[in-house]
Every structure is written in C-alpha cells, then in structure tokens.
Chain A
C-alpha cells in the first residue's frame, strides 16, 4: 500500500494534541478543579498526544526517505 498509516495518524494526533494544549492554556482553570482533581490534564496529556503524533510523523517521513 502506498499510504503509510503513520502519516494520517501522526497528523491527527498532532492536531488533537495542539488543540488540547491551546485549550488547556486558555480555558477557565475552574474546569480542572471540578473534574481532573485540579490537574490541568488538557495541557499535560495534550503534550503527550502531540509528542506521539510527532513521532509517528517522523517515522513515516523516515520510511519515505529510506
């Protein structure tokens, strides 16, 4: 197959991670007190998802160069 699944997957998670990060920094901090035990889960986990997406993109690009 000519489409490496890591490319769309990487893109999707980079976008979702970025959205979560931005939302985490801009949203009213009260939502974390009410929900996620005071932890800003959107920024911390958004960062993880962004990193995961970036790794997938990197791997798909690396394979293309090989």
Chain B
C-alpha cells in the first residue's frame, strides 16, 4: 500500500540533527559496503546504456523482461521508505492489524490487476496508463490523468529525497543538502544512462538487499524478546495497559467497533475503504507500478507480474511490521532495552524504530548492510517516481501536445532531459518542505482528493462498454469534488482544529482516527465518481465504436487462453493460490 503520509510523518518528526540525536556510528567496513553498492548501481546504468536504442527501450525496457524481474521491480518500486519505516511505525502503533495493508489491501488488488486488467493495459499497446485512457475514453481524460500523475510523482520523489536527507542527518549527522545532492545525482546517473531497465534492475537488487538486510534484524529482535510467545505475552501486557486487551496481537478480532482497536477503524470502513477503493485504486491504476508489468516480454508475463509479486508481498509483514511490534515488546521489557527519540510534541517517535533497532542489534559490518538497504529503499522510491514521470511527460504531454512530430531519438533525448528536470524539481520540493511543512501536508491532501475516485473510472471503462469519455472525465471531477466536500464536512477526531485536517465547511461528523476519515473519504469519492460516470455516460453519446473498443473493454476482448500451459504459468491458477494464502494468513492471525 502506498502511504506517503507516513514518510511525511517520518520526515516531519525526525529530529533536526545535532550530535545528541545521532543513533548510528559507522566504521570503515560500513562505508565500504555503502560505496560498493553505489558503484554497482551506477555501473548497471552504465552497462545498460549500450543496449538502449529506441524510446521503447528507454521508457518500456523494450517490452522484453521476464516475469520474475518485472515482479520484483513491481514491489521494489513500491517498497520505498514509507514501507520500511512507516510500516514499522504502524506495527508499533497498531500491532498485527497493520497487516490489513497487505492481506486485505495489497494482495487482492494485485491479483485483480494481473488477471482482469493487465490484458487491457498490455494488450492495448498503450505505453502508459494515461495513454490507455486516451484509447478508451478521450484526450481530456488522458491529459487530466497525465497532468495530475506527473505532478504527484515529482512531488513524491521530492518527499522521498527530503525524508532520506532528514533521516541521514538525524541518525548519522550528515549534512542535509549533501544528502539531497548525493542521492539525486546517483538516481540521476542510473536513470539517465539506463532508463527503465536500469531502474527495474536496481529495484530487484534493492528487494534482495531489504530481505537480506532485515531478516537477521527480525531474527535477533525476536530472539531478544523471547521468541514469538514472548512477543505475544509482552504485546498482551502492553495492550492491557492501553485499555484495549489483545488488540496488538490480533488482526480482525477487535475490528467490530472503531473504538475497540488502536487504528480507530471499524471492519466495514476498513474492507471497503482500504481493501477495495484505496488498494485497488493504487495497484490497478497507478502507472508507477503498472509500468513495471508493462515492461514484460509478453502478455502472459505481464499478467503474472503482479501475481508473482504478491507472493513475497504477502510475507512482507514479517520483515516490515514485526520490527515495530518488537520495539513495543522491548519498551514493555523496560530498562535500557531500546532508545527511541521523542517527537517535538513529547511522544515516542515510532518512525525511528528501524534505525533504533539497527543501532541496537547490528555490529559494524551488518550495520553497513542494514543502512545500505534503508538508503536503497529511499532511492528506489525516488527512481520509481522519476521513471514514471519521465515516461508520462514525454509520451503523454510532450509528444502528444507540444511536439507531435518528435522523432524517436527526440523522445529519448526528452526522456533524459525530463529525468534531470524531474530531479531538480524534486530537490526544489525538498527545499519547500524544509521551509514550509504545511505545503507538503496540503499536497498530500490534494493528491488524496484526486486519487480516491480513480478506480471507479477505470473499472467502468474496462467492464462497461457504454461508459463514455465525458462520463469518465466529469465522473473523475465529481469524485474529486465529493472527496473535497467530504473532507470539509468531517473531522478525524474530537478536539481536532478545523482546517487542513478537515471540517473547513462545517463539521457534520467526527471520526475516531484520521485513518477512518481517510477510508470513508475514499468510499465517498469512489461512489461519487461511479454514479456520476454512469449517469453522464447514459446521458451522452458513445464516443467510440465497438471496433475501436476491441482490446480495451472486457466484453469486446477475446479471453486470454492458458489451457495446456503448466499451472505455474497460468495467471488464474496462480492468483487463486495467492488469494488462498492471504485468506489463510488472515485466519491464522485473526
């Protein structure tokens, strides 16, 4: 699940630096590991440069990659810092229920996009998600999506950059601007030279770095708190002390009412808001991840990409949520067990769980590996956004509106220029964030309004052939407007000031948490877009003939046949296995 607001939280609450807050002390062996990693990152881009000939090579990896590489790139691009640090923080704040972001959030959506939606994305030969919208609906829907997406990616990349620099400044005492420049230049070099393939290859390596770097951390942490049983006992004591007995060690058992669990969300808002609208909206429509599947060498590989990716994704809670739960057990253990900094508000800063555990459990050597994994996750978060940005800018905005006659070589050149410009804008956003924290909160809010209704338009576009260009465009606007109005009428919690948190029209309802407000806002935005798209489509004339819609809409597209193929290369079979796995995990940790 994509949760940039968690990064922001990390960024906003990380200590401003100075010797007192430095958590990690590196030795030369740690620096050596970091340096070797960066040399490889740049080297990969450099080697791949020789193989880049066309714009398709640069922006789509020439549609040539095997499914497993695309799959690891698919989760690697999403495995940014928000996942590594944010999910650990949530693990501490909410316990096992954080796994909802995976087992009801990401997994069903990843299976759905692979089985049902990928045939249209990949089969339509569109080069980007906005381009699909042009083929399916019309130019204005495409441009609206391309513009909002381009702005969002470049800002997200800036947020990653800002968060990385703040973190390194806080835990290592490194200079903020040196970190911004250094991380920007590394990402710039490997994308400038190697394009999407370079980004995906680095995401694959980063995936293994995270797995290999964090597994021993979880192992040592678990051993320290007395294994799984010890962890559960301590979480039990902790949740008793918080007045919600058992809430940290169950995922569903306490979801009956919003007040009964630390997330402050009830099961319906969770299942519909997170499980359906937000997760499907992200995994099924966000070009950042879809781009990785579209780089696959054939339709079958493209369809299997998100489903294969779902297998490790399903097990990720053990790597990213468990550290947060271990931190709570250590706090419960008391004494000198863990050192977490406090926020300016005086609360424990759970966003610093991962660095604190690295400092506690990793001696020099492993510390270098852990830090490399952490930095790699920030940088691939940036790189994912930058590659999606340069593709959408070049194909959907530059080639489409500014220079329709551009040659293929012009497009590659424009892609490279856009990479440079995108990173400069990202650094500019980081600068803005250091000056005005509110700007970033504001942007997050606007992105939320624009993103929430997206899935409704795609769903109707792909599965209802009567939906029209006007219907989708005005449906999206209605959905965005519904989200804004909903936000203006509700507050996340009693006592919250009206304004950026909501209630700026008039307070009609108060939730138990901002997460609940967020989930319900998504439900309203989706419903608004869904209804408006249907009504406006029925009121307007179909703008595409059945012939034009072939390959773009479910009922007009021949079904992919995978009979005769071995079970592991059939998307539907794989998908069923993955879903069964998710159900089993939900039941085990109920």
By a beta-carbon cutoff of 8 Å, the part of chain A in contact with chain B is 1-3, 5, 8-9, 11-13, 15-16, 19-20, 23-24, 27, 31-32, 34-37, 39, 41-42, 45-46, 48-49, 52
Contact of B208 among A19, A46, A52 (CB under 8 A): A52
**Contact among B47, B197, B205, B363 for A9, CB-based, below 8 A:** B205
A41 with B216: CB separation less than 8 A = yes
Number of A-B residue pairs at CB separation under 8 A:
92
Which residue of chain B has its CB nearest to the CB of A12? Answer: B40
Nearest residue, chain A, Cβ from B372: A16
Q: Which of B29, B61, B208, B364 contacts A1 (CB 8 A)?
A: B61
> Bound state CA distance, A42 and B362, in angstroms?
9
Instruction: Please give, as numbers and ranges, the residues of chain B lying within 8 Å of A1 by CB-CB distance.
Output: 48, 51, 61-62, 64-65, 197
- Is B208 a contact of A39 with CB atoms below 8 Å? no
For B64, the chain A residues whose CB sits under 8 A away are 1
Q: Which of B51, B201, B220, B365 has the most CB of A within 10 A?
A: B365
A19 contacts B205, CB within 8 Å?
no
How many Å lie between the Cα of A34 and that of B361 in the bound state?
8
Residue in A closest to B64 when the chains form the complex, CB atoms = A1
| Residue in A36, A46, A52 whose CB lies within 8 Å of B220 | A36
Main secondary structure on A side of the interface with B: helix
**Closest A residue, CB atoms, query B295:** A1
CB-contact partner of A34 in B33, B61, B363, under 8 A: B363
Residues of chain B in range 361-404 having any CB-CB distance to chain A below 8 Å:
361-366, 369
Residue ranges of B at the interface with A (Cβ–Cβ < 8 Å): 29, 32-33, 36-37, 40, 43-44, 47-48, 50-51, 61-62, 64-65, 69, 197, 201, 204-205, 208, 212, 216, 220, 223-224, 360-366, 369
> In the complex the two chains form, is B360's CB within 8 Å of A35's CB?
yes
**Distance in Å from the Cβ of A27 to the closest Cβ of chain B?**
7
Q: Which residue of A lies closest to B48 (CB)?
A: A3
Check A20 against B205 for contact (C-beta < 8 Å): no
With the chains together, A42 CA to B216 CA distance in Å?
Answer: 10
Minimum distance in angstroms from A18 CB to a CB of chain B: 11
Contact between B212 and A52 (Cβ–Cβ < 8 Å)? yes
Instruction: Find out whether the CB atom of A32 lies under 8 angstroms from the CB atom of B363.
Output: yes
Which of A2, A5, A42 has most B Cβ within 10 Å? A5
A20 CA / B216 CA spacing, docked (Å): 13
Contact A27 B201 (CB under 8 A): no
Which residues does chain B contribute within 8 Å of A34, judged by CB atoms?
363
Within the complex, the shortest CB–CB distance from A47 to chain B, in Å, comes to 12
Instruction: Name 19 A/B residue pairs within 8 A (Cβ), A-sorted.
Output: A1-B61, A1-B62, A1-B65, A3-B48, A3-B201, A5-B201, A9-B205, A12-B37, A15-B36, A23-B29, A31-B363, A35-B360, A35-B361, A39-B220, A41-B362, A42-B365, A42-B366, A45-B216, A52-B208
